[in-house]
Structure 1
Amino acid sequence: MAEQRRSKPGASGSGRSGGPRRSSDGPAARGEGNKSRGGQGQSRGGRGAGEDKRRDSRAAGQRRPERAGGPGPKKRPSEKPDAAERTAAQQVYDGPPLPEDITGKELAADVRAQLRSLPEKLALRVARHLAAAGAMIDDEPEVAYQHTLAARSRAPRLAVVREATGEAAYAAGRYAEALAELRAAKRMNGATAYLPIMADCHRALGNAKRALELAKSPSVARFSTAAKAEMTIVEAGARRDLGQMDAALRTLELAPINSKSRESWSVRLRYAYADTLEAAGREREALSWFHRTNAIDAEELTDAADRAEALEARVKD
């Protein structure tokens, strides 16, 4: 679940158009126990003569007469309801069909280690749902999200499960759900690696100021270079959301946009700068940076080549 999404960024300059790098309490299908009946009815400590007579008449095969207009005999519910009768919570618990070739061993060792706190059979089922989500998240994010919900229904108190659910929700464009799940994971394990995604969720929900607050969190200073780049992209996008174009450009210019690295974070950082330059009306500079982005984008993570071609036509005119 920690892989980079392969969707190409669009022209919005949003951190969501390509998304920050994914770091990797809904309905739990629990049966309700019998409700306590303490205090209801008479004490069972002794029986009077009337009770003995009623007991004797029932033993002799006499039926107690039904009250007028009262309910008839209750029907026993079916033990195995049809699929159409299953509740929404049960359907979430079931999850989408699991591919036969998904075993759960596809998960990283540290993730599998966290699942060992569960009973063996349950851990295997959760692992298979998480592995299926990881395999589908780029091409079928909504199905991946449903797999993580099935895992969460079985193991809602594991941070790694809540983290995976948040990442899948983010990939599926369910930003409120993603924010809630990542907050839950952060409460459980105290990790801050989710902050760029959480900040971008705030942007998507129209709360750019909250996104900027997360971008200024003290923990960001301890991020890896790649994670800092992702937060910078989101921060610049939040500035653009607020109409602060100059501040957005300054934010990106303070980042290592001239780095010689060809890692995905460098590609995305350059792309964000080129996109923001174009949005600011500085088309010749934007063209130069789209070319510089394309020069290191060997995996075609962005559409920098197409953007450069379109800009060249306009600049010549």
Structure 2
Amino acid sequence: MGKSCLERWIDESNIEGGFNYGIENKYKSEDDITRRCALGTLKEGHFFIEQVNREKREFDEIYVDFFDAYNGYIQIVGSPTIFYDNDIIYFLRIYEDDRMCYNKYLKSADISAVELNKYCKDCLEFCVGLKNRVIHNTVFTLFNGISETPHESILFNENEKINSICYLGHNDILETNLKVINDSTLLGIMDNKIYVFGRNIVPYEIYSDEDLKFSSFEYDSVSKMISINAMKLKDRSHSYGNLNAVLLDSHDCRIFESSLLISTKRYGENLSYTFIPDLKNDILRAYAINNGFLELVNDEEITCLEINTRCSP
């Protein structure tokens, strides 16, 4: 559970400076819960709050193929579970909380990537990458929850299908997996190695492993840590189609698809955590990573495709 969710929970459950977390019928202070969670000694239960609007049935018969989240908005791209004449109609929706503020249908479009622009503060910008080497970019503003007429543009990539998309600023799109560190520095994957790309400097490698195939990574500017998702090659002579995802740490390997790195300031120091969906055991695993990987206790079974933050923690 994110810090903003924890604060909301505390506000709603506050009883004389403490709150009832519904496990031992005891009152715990926020500091006590956070401290025990960070130390990995919280054994009584987990910190997940499930928010479901049971009146809505719009997701009952669809596949959610892609999603992204930023600044309180959730972007969902999906397709119906039942379709006719082999003609799939994809939809793209954007929600603010549980209210849909944008809805568009894409006919027979093989979508391969979506991305919200994390640099826009006064508008909402997103793009959709297609397998036919086309990128649809859309920008619009919201006023009291009502979207103005969106400005749409189409970009073309003549080389190959769009596998990933990255924004470097407003209307500044790259068709690759890059992370902005500051105004003059980028991190990116090239030749299965993580490189630093800087202004007026020769790119240099900061990490590689010949037995791993890197798929993605996250950089946290507060803790200055990199969380890497990689695929371990089972057999280097027959590596194609024979990959397993692994967690890059000193522990045993666990199958997962993506991770999320977040940081928060507590007791005068920066604390960093990563959340990883364990698809093999259907558990969302949480780790404190300031001094190596310390797994936090969680017994909640959850089917999870990807981890993302809707608001800043």
TM-score, normalised with respect to structure 2: 0.24
Whose strand fraction is larger, Structure 1's or Structure 2's? Answer: 2
Relative CO higher for 1 or 2, CA cutoff 8 Å, sep ≥ 6?
1
TM-score, normalised with respect to structure 1: 0.24
Whose helix fraction is larger, Structure 1's or Structure 2's? Answer: 1
